[in-house]
Protein backbone atom coordinates (compact mmCIF):
# COMPACT_ATOMS: atom_id res chain seq x y z
CA UNK A 1 0.00 0.00 0.00
CA UNK A 2 2.78 2.45 0.95
CA UNK A 3 4.67 1.61 -2.21
CA UNK A 4 1.52 2.29 -4.24
CA UNK A 5 1.01 5.65 -2.57
CA UNK A 6 4.64 6.61 -3.15
CA UNK A 7 4.34 5.59 -6.78
CA UNK A 8 1.23 7.75 -7.13
CA UNK A 9 3.01 10.73 -5.55
CA UNK A 10 6.10 10.50 -7.74
CA UNK A 11 4.59 12.14 -10.87
CA UNK A 12 3.24 14.98 -8.75
CA UNK A 13 6.66 15.55 -7.16
CA UNK A 14 8.28 15.63 -10.60
CA UNK A 15 5.57 17.99 -11.85
CA UNK A 16 6.11 20.23 -8.82
CA UNK A 17 9.85 20.39 -9.45
CA UNK A 18 9.23 21.21 -13.12
CA UNK A 19 6.75 23.95 -12.16
CA UNK A 20 9.21 25.48 -9.69
CA UNK A 21 11.97 25.46 -12.30
CA UNK A 22 9.62 26.98 -14.87
CA UNK A 23 8.58 29.72 -12.45
CA UNK A 24 12.22 30.37 -11.63
CA UNK A 25 13.04 30.62 -15.33
CA UNK A 26 10.17 33.09 -15.85
CA UNK A 27 11.41 35.24 -12.96
CA UNK A 28 14.95 35.24 -14.35
CA UNK A 29 13.58 36.52 -17.65
CA UNK A 30 12.62 39.77 -15.89
CA UNK A 31 15.71 42.05 -16.26
CA UNK A 32 15.78 43.56 -12.73
CA UNK A 33 15.40 40.14 -11.11
CA UNK A 34 17.96 38.59 -13.45
CA UNK A 35 20.43 41.38 -12.67
CA UNK A 36 19.95 40.95 -8.91
CA UNK A 37 20.29 37.16 -9.13
CA UNK A 38 23.43 37.55 -11.23
CA UNK A 39 24.89 39.92 -8.65
CA UNK A 40 24.35 37.47 -5.78
CA UNK A 41 25.67 34.56 -7.84
CA UNK A 42 28.81 36.55 -8.66
CA UNK A 43 29.17 37.49 -5.01
CA UNK A 44 29.03 33.84 -3.93
CA UNK A 45 31.36 32.70 -6.72
CA UNK A 46 33.98 35.37 -5.92
CA UNK A 47 33.82 34.60 -2.19
CA UNK A 48 34.54 30.95 -2.91
CA UNK A 49 37.32 31.74 -5.40
CA UNK A 50 39.06 34.29 -3.18
CA UNK A 51 38.76 31.95 -0.18
CA UNK A 52 40.57 29.23 -2.14
CA UNK A 53 43.04 31.55 -3.86
CA UNK A 54 43.38 34.82 -1.87
CA UNK A 55 44.73 37.56 -4.18
CA UNK A 56 46.59 39.27 -1.33
CA UNK A 57 48.79 36.20 -0.93
CA UNK A 58 50.27 36.54 -4.42
CA UNK A 59 53.92 37.55 -4.38
CA UNK A 60 55.78 38.91 -7.40
CA UNK A 61 59.56 38.84 -7.29
CA UNK A 62 61.30 40.66 -10.18
CA UNK A 63 63.80 38.65 -12.21
CA UNK A 64 65.94 41.75 -12.61
CA UNK A 65 66.75 44.66 -10.34
CA UNK A 66 67.62 48.10 -11.64
CA UNK A 67 70.87 49.26 -10.08
CA UNK A 68 71.46 52.97 -10.47
CA UNK A 69 75.00 54.25 -11.12
CA UNK A 70 76.64 56.27 -8.39
CA UNK A 71 76.18 59.33 -10.59
CA UNK A 72 72.87 59.18 -12.36
CA UNK A 73 72.97 60.96 -15.73
CA UNK A 74 70.09 63.07 -16.90
CA UNK A 75 67.59 60.63 -18.41
CA UNK A 76 67.00 60.60 -22.13
CA UNK A 77 63.29 61.28 -22.51
CA UNK A 78 61.43 58.29 -23.83
CA UNK A 79 57.92 58.53 -25.21
CA UNK A 80 55.18 57.67 -22.80
CA UNK A 81 52.43 55.38 -23.99
CA UNK A 82 49.93 57.18 -26.14
CA UNK A 83 47.25 57.09 -23.49
CA UNK A 84 49.26 59.28 -21.15
CA UNK A 85 47.97 62.79 -21.79
CA UNK A 86 50.39 65.58 -22.44
CA UNK A 87 49.56 69.24 -22.73
CA UNK A 88 51.32 72.45 -23.56
CA UNK A 89 50.45 74.97 -20.92
CA UNK A 90 49.66 78.51 -21.84
CA UNK A 91 49.01 80.73 -18.88
CA UNK A 92 49.91 83.94 -17.21
CA UNK A 93 50.89 83.25 -13.64
CA UNK A 94 49.55 86.51 -12.28
CA UNK A 95 48.51 86.06 -8.65
CA UNK A 96 44.86 86.73 -8.02
CA UNK A 97 43.58 88.13 -4.78
CA UNK A 98 42.49 85.36 -2.48
CA UNK A 99 41.38 85.50 1.11
CA UNK A 100 44.32 85.47 3.54
CA UNK A 101 43.76 83.66 5.74
CA UNK A 102 41.15 81.46 4.07
CA UNK A 103 37.62 81.49 5.48
CA UNK A 104 37.07 79.07 8.34
CA UNK A 105 34.45 77.27 6.29
CA UNK A 106 33.20 77.29 2.69
CA UNK A 107 30.41 75.30 1.07
CA UNK A 108 29.73 75.24 -2.67
CA UNK A 109 26.24 74.68 -4.05
CA UNK A 110 25.22 73.63 -7.53
CA UNK A 111 26.43 70.02 -7.79
CA UNK A 112 23.78 67.50 -8.83
CA UNK A 113 24.37 64.43 -6.67
CA UNK A 114 24.66 61.10 -8.49
CA UNK A 115 25.20 57.76 -6.78
CA UNK A 116 27.10 54.88 -8.36
CA UNK A 117 24.81 52.02 -7.38
CA UNK A 118 22.94 49.75 -9.76
CA UNK A 119 25.74 49.86 -12.31
CA UNK A 120 29.10 48.12 -12.19
CA UNK A 121 32.02 50.11 -10.73
CA UNK A 122 30.43 53.47 -11.56
CA UNK A 123 32.41 55.58 -9.12
CA UNK A 124 34.37 57.49 -11.80
CA UNK A 125 31.45 58.17 -14.19
CA UNK A 126 29.31 59.39 -11.29
CA UNK A 127 31.96 61.65 -9.80
CA UNK A 128 32.98 63.17 -13.10
CA UNK A 129 29.35 63.81 -13.98
CA UNK A 130 28.89 65.60 -10.66
CA UNK A 131 31.99 67.74 -11.23
CA UNK A 132 30.72 68.72 -14.68
CA UNK A 133 27.22 69.47 -13.38
CA UNK A 134 28.59 72.26 -11.17
CA UNK A 135 29.40 74.21 -14.34
CA UNK A 136 25.99 73.73 -15.91
CA UNK A 137 26.63 70.52 -17.84
CA UNK A 138 23.28 68.77 -18.20
CA UNK A 139 24.30 65.14 -18.69
CA UNK A 140 24.40 62.35 -16.13
CA UNK A 141 26.51 59.34 -15.16
CA UNK A 142 25.31 57.33 -18.15
CA UNK A 143 26.73 59.94 -20.52
CA UNK A 144 30.15 59.84 -18.90
CA UNK A 145 29.94 56.08 -18.40
CA UNK A 146 29.37 55.25 -22.06
CA UNK A 147 32.67 56.94 -22.85
CA UNK A 148 34.68 55.96 -19.78
CA UNK A 149 33.39 52.39 -19.50
CA UNK A 150 32.22 51.09 -22.90
CA UNK A 151 32.62 47.67 -21.29
CA UNK A 152 30.58 48.11 -18.14
CA UNK A 153 32.54 45.68 -15.96
CA UNK A 154 35.87 47.42 -16.60
CA UNK A 155 37.28 47.52 -13.09
CA UNK A 156 38.81 50.99 -13.20
CA UNK A 157 38.75 54.42 -14.81
CA UNK A 158 41.99 56.37 -14.56
CA UNK A 159 42.35 60.16 -14.26
CA UNK A 160 43.72 60.48 -17.81
CA UNK A 161 40.49 58.91 -19.13
CA UNK A 162 38.45 61.51 -17.26
CA UNK A 163 40.67 64.24 -18.69
CA UNK A 164 40.08 62.84 -22.17
CA UNK A 165 36.31 62.90 -21.65
CA UNK A 166 36.28 66.54 -20.56
CA UNK A 167 38.49 67.59 -23.46
CA UNK A 168 36.74 65.49 -26.12
CA UNK A 169 33.11 65.65 -25.06
CA UNK A 170 32.53 69.01 -23.33
CA UNK A 171 33.36 72.69 -23.75
CA UNK A 172 35.00 72.70 -20.32
CA UNK A 173 38.66 72.31 -19.37
CA UNK A 174 40.38 70.22 -16.73
CA UNK A 175 43.71 70.09 -14.93
CA UNK A 176 45.16 67.04 -13.16
CA UNK A 177 48.18 67.20 -10.85
CA UNK A 178 49.97 65.10 -8.23
CA UNK A 179 51.38 66.13 -4.87
CA UNK A 180 48.40 68.15 -3.67
CA UNK A 181 47.95 69.42 -0.11
CA UNK A 182 44.94 70.00 2.10
CA UNK A 183 45.61 73.75 2.00
CA UNK A 184 45.56 73.74 -1.80
CA UNK A 185 42.25 71.86 -1.79
CA UNK A 186 40.79 74.44 0.58
CA UNK A 187 42.15 77.32 -1.52
CA UNK A 188 40.47 75.96 -4.65
CA UNK A 189 37.15 75.36 -2.90
CA UNK A 190 37.28 78.82 -1.29
CA UNK A 191 37.59 80.33 -4.78
CA UNK A 192 34.64 78.40 -6.20
CA UNK A 193 36.24 75.23 -7.62
CA UNK A 194 35.11 71.77 -6.46
CA UNK A 195 38.00 69.30 -6.51
CA UNK A 196 38.08 65.63 -7.48
CA UNK A 197 40.56 63.49 -5.54
CA UNK A 198 41.45 59.84 -5.97
CA UNK A 199 42.24 57.97 -2.79
CA UNK A 200 42.52 54.49 -1.34
CA UNK A 201 39.68 53.78 1.04
CA UNK A 202 38.85 50.78 3.21
CA UNK A 203 35.45 49.71 1.91
CA UNK A 204 33.43 46.53 2.26
CA UNK A 205 33.39 45.06 -1.23
CA UNK A 206 30.76 42.77 -2.67
CA UNK A 207 32.55 39.73 -1.25
CA UNK A 208 31.63 41.06 2.16
CA UNK A 209 35.22 41.80 3.22
CA UNK A 210 36.73 45.11 4.26
CA UNK A 211 39.57 45.86 1.88
CA UNK A 212 41.63 48.61 0.32
CA UNK A 213 40.37 49.90 -3.01
CA UNK A 214 40.51 53.04 -5.10
CA UNK A 215 37.73 55.58 -4.74
CA UNK A 216 36.99 59.05 -6.11
CA UNK A 217 35.60 61.90 -4.01
CA UNK A 218 34.27 65.23 -5.22
CA UNK A 219 35.05 67.75 -2.46
CA UNK A 220 32.66 70.70 -2.30
CA UNK A 221 33.08 72.10 1.21
CA UNK A 222 35.44 72.35 4.16
CA UNK A 223 35.08 73.40 7.78
CA UNK A 224 38.15 74.07 9.90
CA UNK A 225 36.17 74.07 13.15
CA UNK A 226 35.00 70.51 12.41
CA UNK A 227 38.32 69.57 10.80
CA UNK A 228 36.70 68.05 7.74
CA UNK A 229 35.76 68.29 4.09
CA UNK A 230 32.35 67.41 2.70
CA UNK A 231 32.33 65.09 -0.29
CA UNK A 232 29.58 64.27 -2.70
CA UNK A 233 30.37 60.61 -2.20
CA UNK A 234 28.83 58.43 -4.89
CA UNK A 235 29.21 55.28 -2.76
CA UNK A 236 27.90 56.67 0.52
CA UNK A 237 25.84 59.88 0.62
CA UNK A 238 25.75 63.52 -0.43
CA UNK A 239 27.68 65.84 1.91
CA UNK A 240 29.64 62.93 3.30
CA UNK A 241 32.10 64.09 6.00
CA UNK A 242 35.77 63.34 5.35
CA UNK A 243 38.04 64.36 8.27
CA UNK A 244 41.25 66.12 7.28
CA UNK A 245 43.46 63.41 8.79
CA UNK A 246 41.44 60.65 7.09
CA UNK A 247 41.80 62.27 3.68
CA UNK A 248 45.52 62.82 4.25
CA UNK A 249 45.90 59.12 5.09
CA UNK A 250 43.79 57.78 2.21
CA UNK A 251 45.10 60.23 -0.37
CA UNK A 252 48.69 59.07 0.17
CA UNK A 253 48.20 55.86 -1.82
CA UNK A 254 47.45 57.85 -4.99
CA UNK A 255 50.33 60.31 -4.70
CA UNK A 256 47.93 63.10 -3.67
CA UNK A 257 46.42 63.37 -7.16
CA UNK A 258 43.59 65.83 -7.85
CA UNK A 259 41.52 67.06 -10.80
CA UNK A 260 39.78 70.40 -11.26
CA UNK A 261 37.15 71.00 -13.94
CA UNK A 262 36.68 74.61 -14.97
CA UNK A 263 35.38 76.83 -17.80
CA UNK A 264 38.08 77.55 -20.36
CA UNK A 265 37.78 81.31 -19.82
CA UNK A 266 38.89 80.81 -16.20
CA UNK A 267 42.24 79.28 -17.16
CA UNK A 268 44.35 82.21 -15.98
CA UNK A 269 42.49 82.24 -12.69
CA UNK A 270 42.87 78.52 -12.02
CA UNK A 271 46.57 78.54 -12.89
CA UNK A 272 47.16 81.52 -10.64
CA UNK A 273 45.49 79.68 -7.77
CA UNK A 274 47.58 76.60 -8.48
CA UNK A 275 50.81 78.57 -8.25
CA UNK A 276 53.75 76.18 -8.64
CA UNK A 277 51.29 73.40 -9.46
CA UNK A 278 50.32 75.16 -12.70
CA UNK A 279 53.50 73.78 -14.23
CA UNK A 280 53.04 69.99 -14.46
CA UNK A 281 56.79 69.33 -14.23
CA UNK A 282 57.13 71.42 -11.08
CA UNK A 283 54.03 69.75 -9.60
CA UNK A 284 55.58 66.34 -10.19
CA UNK A 285 58.84 67.50 -8.62
CA UNK A 286 56.89 68.61 -5.55
CA UNK A 287 55.21 65.20 -5.39
CA UNK A 288 58.59 63.49 -5.81
CA UNK A 289 60.20 65.49 -3.00
CA UNK A 290 57.32 64.63 -0.70
CA UNK A 291 57.48 60.93 -1.56
CA UNK A 292 61.28 60.84 -1.14
CA UNK A 293 61.00 62.33 2.34
CA UNK A 294 58.31 59.83 3.32
CA UNK A 295 60.40 56.85 2.20
CA UNK A 296 62.71 57.77 5.09
CA UNK A 297 60.19 58.84 7.73
CA UNK A 298 57.46 56.21 7.25
CA UNK A 299 57.29 52.48 7.93
CA UNK A 300 55.13 49.55 6.90
CA UNK A 301 52.28 50.16 4.50
CA UNK A 302 52.84 53.92 4.40
CA UNK A 303 56.48 53.38 3.44
CA UNK A 304 55.36 51.05 0.64
CA UNK A 305 53.02 53.75 -0.69
CA UNK A 306 55.82 56.34 -0.45
CA UNK A 307 58.22 54.24 -2.53
CA UNK A 308 55.46 53.50 -5.04
CA UNK A 309 54.66 57.24 -5.29
CA UNK A 310 58.35 57.98 -5.80
CA UNK A 311 58.35 55.58 -8.74
CA UNK A 312 55.17 57.12 -10.17
CA UNK A 313 56.56 60.65 -10.10
CA UNK A 314 59.84 59.49 -11.68
CA UNK A 315 57.89 57.79 -14.48
CA UNK A 316 56.07 61.05 -15.17
CA UNK A 317 59.42 62.86 -15.16
CA UNK A 318 60.67 60.17 -17.60
CA UNK A 319 63.44 58.91 -15.32
CA UNK A 320 62.56 55.28 -15.97
CA UNK A 321 65.70 53.80 -14.40
CA UNK A 322 65.08 55.72 -11.19
CA UNK A 323 61.41 54.72 -11.30
CA UNK A 324 62.24 51.03 -11.78
CA UNK A 325 64.59 51.14 -8.78
CA UNK A 326 61.88 52.79 -6.65
CA UNK A 327 59.29 50.22 -7.68
CA UNK A 328 61.75 47.41 -6.89
CA UNK A 329 61.94 48.76 -3.35
CA UNK A 330 58.16 49.13 -3.13
CA UNK A 331 57.72 45.49 -4.19
CA UNK A 332 60.18 44.38 -1.54
CA UNK A 333 58.18 46.27 1.10
CA UNK A 334 54.85 44.95 -0.26
CA UNK A 335 56.04 41.35 -0.01
CA UNK A 336 57.18 41.96 3.58
CA UNK A 337 53.71 43.10 4.69
CA UNK A 338 51.27 40.76 6.35
CA UNK A 339 49.07 39.40 3.56
CA UNK A 340 45.91 40.99 4.95
CA UNK A 341 47.63 44.40 4.83
CA UNK A 342 48.59 44.19 1.17
CA UNK A 343 46.62 46.52 -1.17
CA UNK A 344 46.40 43.86 -3.87
CA UNK A 345 44.29 46.04 -6.15
CA UNK A 346 47.13 48.59 -6.61
CA UNK A 347 47.86 47.71 -10.25
CA UNK A 348 44.18 47.99 -11.10
CA UNK A 349 44.52 51.74 -10.65
CA UNK A 350 48.17 52.66 -11.18
CA UNK A 351 50.32 51.20 -13.92
CA UNK A 352 53.58 53.05 -13.39
CA UNK A 353 55.60 49.84 -12.86
CA UNK A 354 54.69 48.70 -16.37
CA UNK A 355 56.15 51.92 -17.80
CA UNK A 356 59.30 51.71 -15.69
CA UNK A 357 60.10 48.07 -16.41
CA UNK A 358 59.19 48.25 -20.09
CA UNK A 359 61.29 51.34 -20.80
CA UNK A 360 64.28 49.85 -19.00
CA UNK A 361 64.07 46.66 -21.07
CA UNK A 362 62.71 44.47 -18.28
CA UNK A 363 60.06 42.90 -20.51
CA UNK A 364 59.82 39.56 -18.69
CA UNK A 365 59.15 41.40 -15.43
CA UNK A 366 56.20 43.14 -17.10
CA UNK A 367 54.80 39.80 -18.25
CA UNK A 368 55.37 38.13 -14.88
CA UNK A 369 53.86 41.02 -12.94
CA UNK A 370 50.66 40.88 -14.99
CA UNK A 371 50.50 37.08 -14.81
CA UNK A 372 51.11 36.76 -11.07
CA UNK A 373 49.28 39.77 -9.67
CA UNK A 374 46.43 40.14 -12.17
CA UNK A 375 45.59 37.19 -14.38
CA UNK A 376 46.11 34.35 -11.91
CA UNK A 377 44.49 36.08 -8.95
CA UNK A 378 41.86 38.59 -10.06
CA UNK A 379 38.35 37.42 -10.73
CA UNK A 380 37.31 38.79 -14.10
CA UNK A 381 40.59 40.57 -14.96
CA UNK A 382 38.85 43.28 -16.96
CA UNK A 383 41.81 45.67 -16.90
CA UNK A 384 42.68 46.76 -20.41
CA UNK A 385 45.93 48.48 -19.38
CA UNK A 386 47.39 45.25 -17.95
CA UNK A 387 46.58 43.28 -21.11
CA UNK A 388 48.00 46.12 -23.19
CA UNK A 389 51.32 46.23 -21.36
CA UNK A 390 51.70 42.46 -21.42
CA UNK A 391 51.13 42.65 -25.18
CA UNK A 392 53.84 45.30 -25.60
CA UNK A 393 56.27 43.24 -23.55
CA UNK A 394 55.47 40.11 -25.59
CA UNK A 395 56.22 42.01 -28.80
CA UNK A 396 59.62 42.95 -27.38
CA UNK A 397 60.20 39.31 -26.41
CA UNK A 398 59.29 38.08 -29.89
CA UNK A 399 55.95 36.49 -28.99
CA UNK A 400 53.87 38.21 -31.68
CA UNK A 401 51.03 35.68 -31.60
CA UNK A 402 50.62 36.08 -27.84
CA UNK A 403 50.87 39.86 -28.14
CA UNK A 404 48.13 40.05 -30.75
CA UNK A 405 45.85 37.95 -28.57
CA UNK A 406 46.50 40.26 -25.59
CA UNK A 407 45.88 43.40 -27.65
CA UNK A 408 42.54 41.97 -28.78
CA UNK A 409 41.66 41.10 -25.19
CA UNK A 410 42.41 44.69 -24.16
CA UNK A 411 40.00 45.83 -26.88
CA UNK A 412 37.38 43.38 -25.65
CA UNK A 413 37.45 44.96 -22.20
CA UNK A 414 37.70 48.49 -23.56
CA UNK A 415 36.27 48.73 -27.09
CA UNK A 416 38.05 51.40 -29.08
CA UNK A 417 41.06 51.52 -26.72
CA UNK A 418 43.34 53.65 -28.86
CA UNK A 419 46.79 52.43 -27.76
CA UNK A 420 45.88 48.82 -28.59
CA UNK A 421 44.40 49.84 -31.94
CA UNK A 422 47.53 51.80 -32.81
CA UNK A 423 49.89 48.98 -31.88
CA UNK A 424 47.90 46.44 -33.89
CA UNK A 425 47.97 48.79 -36.86
CA UNK A 426 51.75 49.07 -36.49
CA UNK A 427 51.93 45.26 -36.58
CA UNK A 428 49.74 45.20 -39.68
CA UNK A 429 47.01 43.28 -37.87
CA UNK A 430 43.28 44.01 -37.75
CA UNK A 431 41.57 44.37 -34.38
Against a cut of 0.75, is the pTM above it? yes
Give pLDDT tens digits for 120-152: 889 999 999 999 999 999 999 999 999 999 999
**What is the Cα–Cα distance from 225 to 215, expressed in whole angstroms?**
26
Q: Would you give per-residue pLDDT tens digits along the chain (431 residues)?
A: 555 555 566 566 566 666 666 665 675 566 655 545 554 445 555 555 555 667 888 889 999 887 776 444 333 333 333 333 333 333 333 344 455 789 999 999 999 999 999 998 899 999 999 999 999 999 999 999 999 999 999 999 999 999 999 999 999 999 999 999 999 999 999 999 999 999 998 887 656 677 899 999 999 999 999 999 999 999 999 999 999 999 999 999 999 999 999 999 999 999 999 999 999 999 999 999 999 999 999 999 999 999 999 999 999 999 999 999 999 999 999 999 999 899 999 999 999 999 999 999 999 999 999 999 999 888 899 999 999 999 999 999 999 999 999 999 999 999 999 999 999 999 999 98
Contact of 369 with 60, CB cutoff 8 Å: yes
Contact of 387 with 407, CB cutoff 8 Å: yes
Q: Which residues of 219-235 are buried (b: 16+ CB within 10 A; e: fewer)?
A: bbbbbeeeebbbbbbbb
**What is the Cα–Cα distance from 127 to 217, expressed in whole angstroms?**
7
Angle 361-378-179 from CA coordinates, rounded to 5°? 60
Question: What is the phi/psi pair of residue 309, to 5°?
Answer: -60, -40
**What is the Cα–Cα distance from 345 to 281, expressed in whole angstroms?**
28
Residue 376's pLDDT is what?
A: 87
- Residue 150 is given by DSSP the state S
Q: Mean pLDDT of all residues in the chain? A: 87
Quick one: CA torsion of 368, 404, 348, 277, rounded to 10 degrees?
Answer: 110
**What is the Cα–Cα distance from 300 to 338, expressed in whole angstroms?**
10
Give every CB contact of residue 36 below 8 A, 6+ residues apart in sequence: none
**What is the Cα–Cα distance from 359 to 363, expressed in whole angstroms?**
9
With both helix axes pointing from N to C terminus, report the angle between 2-28 and 31-52 in degrees, rounded to the nearest 10. 100
Amino acid sequence: MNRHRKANRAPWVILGVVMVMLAFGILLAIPPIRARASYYWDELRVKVRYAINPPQQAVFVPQEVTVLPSTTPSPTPLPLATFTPTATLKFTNTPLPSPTPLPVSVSLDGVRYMHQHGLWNYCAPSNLAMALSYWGWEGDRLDTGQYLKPFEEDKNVMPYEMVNYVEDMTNLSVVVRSGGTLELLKLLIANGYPVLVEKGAMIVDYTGKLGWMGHYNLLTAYDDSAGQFLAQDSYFTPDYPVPYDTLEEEWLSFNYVFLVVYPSEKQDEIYALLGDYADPTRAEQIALERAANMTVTETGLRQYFAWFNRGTSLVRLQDYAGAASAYDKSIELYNALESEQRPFRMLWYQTGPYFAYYYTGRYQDVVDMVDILILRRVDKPYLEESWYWRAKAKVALGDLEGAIEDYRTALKYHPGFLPALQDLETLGVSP
